[in-house]
Amino acid sequence: MVRPIGSSVGVSFAYGRRYSNGIIHKGVDFSDGREGHEVRSCLDGTVTHAGYGGWGPAYGQHVIVKSTFKGKTKWVLYGHLKTENVSVGQRVKAGQKLGTSGGRAGQRYSGNSTGPHLHVQVGYANRYDRYEDPWAVINYSTPVAIPVPPRPTSKPDLWFGIDLRNLAGFNDHGIDTWHARIVKTIADIKTVGRAVVAVIELPNGKVDDFKKRMSAIGYKHAGGNMGRHLFVLKHVAVDAGVVFNLSPDLGGDNKVAFMAVIRPTDNPNPAIVAVTQLENEDLTGTTQVKQARSFLSQVLAYARAKDVPEDRVFPVLDTNSDSRVLHEAFEPAGFFDTAATAYSSENSAWRTFVGWFAKPTKGKRIDLILAQRKRPVARFRVRTTTADLSDHLDIFADIGKR
């Protein structure tokens, strides 16, 4: 898979965001405020449309490429093009130039556009209203191919296991489902048995109850605040823990993060786990990106102060602007989305509610094992029933030398 536009051009409007009229954005927009960037095909395929018309006048001059992706047919649209370099029926290779980006307001080739940008949209049928998350195809965030082994491949002292739990929906719409679900969730945490359990969206009124239940299965509370908490097995050392604020806040909703240095007794290398939730009111994602940068800078400063290398830093985020946060805050710092890597064979909707980032170092790689409890997921929130366990990711990060 190939990035459709140069890496210097960031995401300006993410998939799934809503316009002011409530309509959902069906693709992902890339922009740096200028026209004329080369637009390249993400995948091998055949051009089915080039010019105006196609999926509608809103896209202006656009190219549609029909491709096969993981055994399924996809139609990838590249919209608001200033120029085109291909014709209908032409075979193209991934990375081949399709044209140049346009989008300047008032130009016929721009269609419905308020400024220069490239719009990329993926359809599971050849029409504009049969769309899906384009990051399933435009998943260029992983800089190298990372195999997913069946189990950690290094000695036990070289891997670090974390169980991430999202408890959103346990008190959904005022209906207390806590007691109907928590017993199964605690039993599942015990079965998974990781040394560290990171929890987000833990209702404040249930913290004491959750602590007691976790203590009964051998976990102690390592600290946390405002829904973000860490629990570790009782033999695991926690060197330090700190709660810090993210900036900017929005509408007085001051977001916090919690992080701690974790030092398992069977692991000579300490690690930092940090959990937070970004704000969800700014529909452009701009505030989330700023908060993510604030979060990451504070976490890395903390790591340096504690002499913990960056490849042992595990930031956990709950965000509804995951694509912008990833590409504008984490990738420039050398981090990649390990959840996206592990989910490469799954529907990308499973990664919309959380991003998990880890940073490899020279001579090492990060292998991932992911055990996902599959259930219906609606964008921006988890849709649950009383019979469900909490949604969670179960990840091993194997940092053994290769």
pLDDT tens per residue, range 11-23:
777 776 666 566 7
User: Roughly how many angstroms between the first and final C-alpha of the chain, as a whole number?
Assistant: 25
The pLDDT of residue 349 is above 60: no
Q: Which of 352, 356, 347, 345 is nearest to 393 (CA)?
A: 356
Q: What is the mean pLDDT of residues 26-39?
A: 88
Q: The domain 156-398 belongs to what CATH superfamily?
A: Endonuclease/exonuclease/phosphatase (3.60.10.10)
Which residues 6+ apart lie within 8 Å of 264 measured at CB? 160, 195, 233, 235, 236, 237
Look up residue 123 and give its two tokens.
């359809």
Let me know if the fold of 11-136 is the same as that of 156-398. Answer: no
Residues facing residue 164 across a β-bridge:
198, 393
Alpha carbons 63 and 79: distance in angstroms, whole number: 7
For the beta carbon of residue 192, count every other beta carbon within 10 angstroms. 14
What integer best gives the mean pLDDT of the chain?
Answer: 73
pLDDT tens per residue, range 299-310:
999 989 988 877
> In this predicted structure, what is the pLDDT of residue 317?
76
Alpha carbons 198 and 241: distance in angstroms, whole number: 13
> In this predicted structure, what is the pLDDT of residue 141?
38
The amino acid present at 202, given as its one-letter code, is L
CA distances from 19 to 25, 104, 165 (A): 7, 19, 31
Q: Which of 366, 323, 360 is nearest to 342 (CA)?
A: 366
pLDDT tens per residue, range 82-130:
999 999 999 999 999 999 999 988 888 888 888 899 999 998 888 777 7
The pLDDT of residue 378 is above 50: no
Verdict on whether the full-model pTM lies above 0.75 = no
Just give the CATH number of 11-136: 2.70.70.10
pLDDT bracket for residue 160 (50, 70, 90): low
Q: Which residue has the higher pLDDT, 379 or 328?
A: 328
Q: Which residue has the higher pLDDT, 264 or 369?
A: 264
pLDDT tens per residue, range 250-299:
665 567 888 888 876 656 678 888 888 787 677 677 888 899 899 999 99
pLDDT bracket for residue 210 (50, 70, 90): very high
Across 26-30, 146-150, 254-258, 286-290, least confident range: 146-150
Structural domain boundaries in the chain: 11-136, 156-398
Which residues 6+ apart lie within 8 Å of 67 measured at CB? 42, 43, 44, 45, 46, 73, 74, 75, 76, 137
